[in-house]
Amino acid sequence: MTEDYEETAEADEDELCRDIQMKLPDCLWQLDYVNRYRAGKFNEDFAALETGEKFLFGVIEIPFTEEDGSFTWGVWAEVDAGDHDAYVRDFQTDAAEGRVIAGRLANDIPGTPEAFGANVELTLHAGRRPEIRVLEGELGIQQARGMSLSEHEALDRELFGDDDEEGDNEAEA
């Protein structure tokens, strides 16, 4: 698996990660440095390829079922060029607030292999990143029902390995 995400939450050793952000849409991330530059333009919120595809960065929130808060995936969604350009025009203004647009998930999500390409709905905001609602697949089901502690622990192990094993190996060295 390509590691195109980064942990953005500062956590104690025993605390589980609550936030993963994908750096780019997968179609850009898979390119080498020079070809990524040639492919289009992008920043932390928008991406546009020379071939015409347009992307917005947003957040999928998955509420926890056994504690307060949520797990967030910062992801990219491919959207219609007109919707993308309108959001660029209205970025951080009241004109963007509450607008809803359709898109397709543009990142692989660890633990949910069918998520890439899933239909999503983005709700745009004036003062924060778009909220993304996943409309299909296991990720959409999990977003609607929430994430249990055992699912959160399993995801953390998949993303970062088992800390107990790492500690055991260090003790033996």
Convert the pLDDT of each residue in 101-151 to its tens digit: 999 999 999 989 899 999 999 999 999 999 999 999 999 999 999 999 989
Tokens 């959207």 correspond to 79
**CA–CA–CA angle 43, 47, 50 (5° rounding):** 125
pTM across the whole model? 0.83
Nearest 5°: phi and psi at 131? -85, 140
Answer yes or no: is 90 within a domain: yes
Convert the pLDDT of each residue in 74-108 to its tens digit: 999 999 999 999 999 999 999 999 999 999 999 99
Answer yes or no: is 96 within a domain: yes
Nearest 5°: phi and psi at 11? -135, 150
Measured CA to CA, the distance from residue 94 to residue 100 in angstroms comes to: 14
Answer yes or no: is 30 within a domain: yes
Provide the number of structural domains found in the chain. 1
**Which DSSP letter does residue 17 get?**
P
Answer yes or no: is 65 within a domain: yes
Answer yes or no: is 92 within a domain: yes
Measured CA to CA, the distance from residue 109 to residue 96 in angstroms comes to: 27
Answer yes or no: is 173 within a domain: no
Containing structural domain, residue 30: 17-164
List the end-to-end C-alpha distance of the chain, in Å, as a whole number: 28
Answer yes or no: is 6 within a domain: no
Answer yes or no: is 158 within a domain: yes
